[in-house]
Amino acid sequence: MKIVSFNVNGIRSALSKGLKDWFIEQNPDILCLQEIKLSETELVEPIFLELGYHCYWYPAQKKGYSGVAIISRTAPDNITFGMNIEKYDNEGRVIVADYQHFSLLCAYFPSGTTGDERQSVKMSFLDDIYTFIDQKIKSGTGNLIICGDVNICHTEIDIHNPKSNAKTSGFLPEERAWVTKFLDTGMIDTFRHFNSDPHNYTWWSYRAGARPKNLGWRIDYFFSTGQMIDLLMDAKIHADVFMSDHCPISLELKI
């Protein structure tokens, strides 16, 4: 089974840059999207329906902003929209699909780059999604995958210039400590499970020619619960895909 996660920075924009053809080529079982930036999802849904997929959209209330989606070849047993916390749910941050053998949580974590107010929202979200995931696991969901744009680089090898970004949102000590705490519960950073090399990034600024120079950040992840370790086959970063300021990531499972 292959699952792909991609912050498309606007799904219509990504489709205009070749998303459909790449999607057909990759042939994933599930596609998780972040920043769909589209409320009128009926404008793009036929593209995926014609390919035989089920679509579950969770746009933000604010037009042209945020939003997540799960596009799945097999219909899940259950879909949960949001965390039942209004301030995040209004922004379309989290969607969960429950399948026979595992559950999949697709999330778009807030960014704190626009100032103290949004950084405060981000830190509150980190606490609340930690609790949300913990409750999901305690309810009996042993096989859980979390994917999406976390907007945090965990370690120094996940960012091109750790020293100059030490006080930058996305690499703050308290944000990095949250990822460490999360992994210490037994979660697996699946990419790092297979690859410990530096200079593997998933996001690049549009400024200063960052992408051609590979001046990036690894802020998109697939996490899994520890008990899934024997089901993990491969995790990749598709840095050669140019449809967004992010690139897609994928996870292959023995399911």
pLDDT of residue 208: 86
User: What is the pLDDT at residue 185?
Assistant: 97
**How long, in residues, is the chain?**
255
Backbone angle region of 56, left / alpha / beta, with phi > 0 → left and psi within -120 to 50 → alpha: beta
Cβ distance 22 to 243 under 8 Å?
Answer: yes
Does the annotation mark 240 as catalytic? no
Q: Note the pLDDT of residue 166.
A: 96
The whole-angstrom separation of Cα 159 and Cα 157 is 6
Determine whether 39 is exposed, middle or buried from the number of CB atoms within 10 Å of its CB (0-12, 13-18, 19+): middle
At residue 255, the pLDDT reads 87
pLDDT of amino acid 172: 98
Separation in Å, CA 129 to CA 9, 74, 125, 126: 22, 26, 6, 5
**With a cut of 70, which residues of the chain have pLDDT below it?**
none
CATH number of the domain bearing residue 193? 3.60.10.10
Q: pTM of the prediction?
A: 0.97
Q: What is the C-alpha separation between 142 and 255, in angstroms, rounded?
A: 15
Domain total in the chain:
1
Domain enclosing residue 107, as ranges: 2-253
Annotated catalytic residue within 77, 134, 149, 184: 149
Q: List the one residue out of 92, 86, 85 whose CA is nearest residue 109.
A: 92
Encoded tokens for 183: 């992994």
